[in-house]
Structure 1
Amino acid sequence: MQLALPSCFAPDRARVSAARLTAEFAGGRTILRRQQVGYPWHLGRGFYLDAEKRDLLTLYLQSASGGMYAGDDLSFDVEVGAGAALHLTTQAATLVHACRDAAASLRQRVHVAAGGFAALTNDPYILFPEAELQLATSVVVDAEGVLILADGFGAHRPTRFEGTFTRFSSELRVARPDGSLLLLDRGTLRGADLGNAYDALGGAGAAGSFIVIAPAERLPTPEVIEAAAEQVGCFAGVSTAPNEAGLVIRMTAPDGGGLTRGLTAAFHVIAEAALGLPLAVRRK
């Protein structure tokens, strides 16, 4: 008799998964008109958390898999219709596990129509030793729309583990509906290049970015954003986006938890300027 090896001995196949969301304004508030969300994601029910902005839909995107793994090929499409207001955030940081043979990748596509408001604020990716993550985001924003896009990473080395992450890379392309390019941002950091006070992060353990695409009258001043980050122990630098499209914010923090606090503080400052009113705390 020949025994078959238990299934746990077979190598796992890389996951390929695509998700899509369409948010539209209907009946006096923003609703999810369409959604296709499969494993490894789980989308919680929608919340209307803001008494002064009752049409703003807040969604929490959760991971049901324990993070991202070698070879993961994930894509996420978000469409925000005319006059709709959506805040999509994660329930916690996302772990990126060792990718010894193939990087994990996430491709995002976002479309914001005229009068739409879209905020996609991910908690930091936590990069374990030998993790490699590739992010690619393509955005189309109407001249009368608002986009707030935030992400970042923190390096983590658990007890008894050696080394650091392999690579973190990101690419962001922002265009108008007519195809004209507003912004193209590319960056790559290798874990081996970090680890001292004179590295690319100045010795910090975590780094993040905010991209804000909005009309000039709906932007906060750089000083307000930098002060909000400093109050929670982060360092932020703000510059004007190319083609006067908005703002670009870079932020560093001692660790992933500190970066989460900095990104949250900056989000509330930016959202208040864009919407004209303060938003409620997003509890996690």
Structure 2
Amino acid sequence: MQINEEAPLALDSLSLGALAPELVSYQHEPPQMASAAVGKHGYLRLRFAKRGAKSTLHEMERKVPLLVQKALYWDEEMPFLPCVTMISTSGCILQGDRLTVEIDLDAGACAHVTTQSATKVHSMDNNFAAQTQHIRVGKQAYLEFMPDQLIPHRKSRFISDTVIECDSTATVIYSEILMSGRKYHHQDERFGFDVYSSRITAKNEFGNTLFNEKLVLTPKERPLDVVGVMGKFDVYGNVIVFTPKEYQDEILAQSPSFYSEQLCYGVSRLPNESGLIFKVLSCDSSDVKNAIREFWQKVRKVTTGYSLPTPFIWKV
């Protein structure tokens, strides 16, 4: 983890991968369809606002392959919480895709954002896929960003740059799950991807950088299934929580570390008292999801006073 006051905001998805040293060998344009062509340059902007007793999806802009339909209020514990599912009309991420997601929460608003299913990054002959995410959360707002797992197929290259601008009075739960690949599909699928690169930058309401975390995985150059990295584990979960200091202390006190041969996780503080980070490893995605759900429940209960609803059977 790096602390860097000069770290820039997320780059435009069109230029992001072109400037990344980890992708210097993968700049050739696909012969089938150029990168960022029509249908491969997706854009999604969501703005949530507080309206009376509930929050609403107040504004939405989209361009294929990114899509949302409407906000639903299926959370029986927080019936005022708009729940939005991000959808890909292509069903996966392909070589040459350039995706941009922007999420804004006005002061006092709340929202839950997830995905329709796992995000699959398909095998690539040329080029790579790039994604930028810019999340802005206003005073006393509350956001749960809980997508399903990302599955990089063999010979895939994916780079993501996320910027989270969060008011010091707000709470953001940002989750991500990374699989080793389709390990039951083919013997070369486990850690068979070429590049996975992800950077997360956090800023406060004054524009000051609180922390950077960048993860660059190139398993064919530097194996991941070794002690000190992934070892025998296949699934990596990462949850970042931004919330006021008094909530951080209570959440941390309720979140002991755990280690076994099948599962391990732990929580630590982020720099500049900005929040907490929870990391979990397992060989089974359901174990990682369950561990994240338990931590998510603690965060929601402490910060809002509400519990999580019973999970949908297809999300377990």
- Normalising by structure 2, we get a TM-score of 0.79
Residue in structure 1 matched with residue 18 of structure 2 by the alignment: none
Alignment partner, residue 191 of structure 1? 219
Q: Unaligned 5+ residue runs, structure 1?
A: 1-9
Structure 1 distance, partners of 2:200, 2:296, is 19
The question of 1:214 aligning with 2:240 is answered no
What residue is the counterpart of 1:94 in the other structure? 119
The corresponding residue for 2:17 is none
Change beyond 3 A, Cα 1:161–1:69? farther
CA distance in 1, matches of 2:133, 2:82: 20
1:175 corresponds to? 203
Encode CA deviations 1:197-252: one digit per residue, 9 max, x unaligned.
5251122111121110100222353364456x879x63212110100111011111
- 1:52-201 residue pairs with structure 2 within 5 A? 52-157=77-182, 159-160=185-186, 162=188, 164-192=192-220, 193-194=222-223, 196-198=225-227, 200-201=229-230
Check if 1:234 corresponds to 2:263: yes
**2:232 aligned residue:** 203
What is the total number of aligned residue pairs between the two structures?
A: 273
Q: Are the structure 2 counterparts of residues 35 and 194 from structure 1 closer, same or farther at C-alpha, using a change threshold of 3 Å?
A: same
Runs of 4+ in structure 1 off by over 6 angstroms are none
Q: TM-score, normalised by structure 1?
A: 0.88
2:32 to 11, 17, 22: 11
- On the 8 A contact 2:43/2:66 being kept in 1, the answer is no
Q: Which has the higher contact order (CA 8 A, sep 6+)?
A: 2
Structure 1: distance between partners of 2:201 and 2:225: 31
Q: Judge conservation of contact 2:98–2:131 (CA < 8 Å) in 1.
A: yes
- SS across alignment from 1:212: strand
Question: Which structure carries more strand by proportion?
Answer: 1
Q: CA deviation at 1:179?
A: 1.1
Amino acid in the other structure paired with 2:244: P
Give the letter aligned to residue 141 of structure 1. C
Note if contact 1:17-1:75 (Cα within 8 Å) is conserved in structure 2: yes
1: CA distance between counterparts of 2:295 and 2:223?
25
Amino acid at match of 2:300: A
Q: Tell whether the 8 Å contact from 1:75 to 1:106 is kept in structure 2 after alignment.
A: yes
Choose the corresponding residue for 1:266, options 290, 295, 303: 295
RMSD of aligned C-alpha atoms? 2.2
* Cα distance change, pair 52–258 in 1 and its aligned pair in 2 (3 A): closer
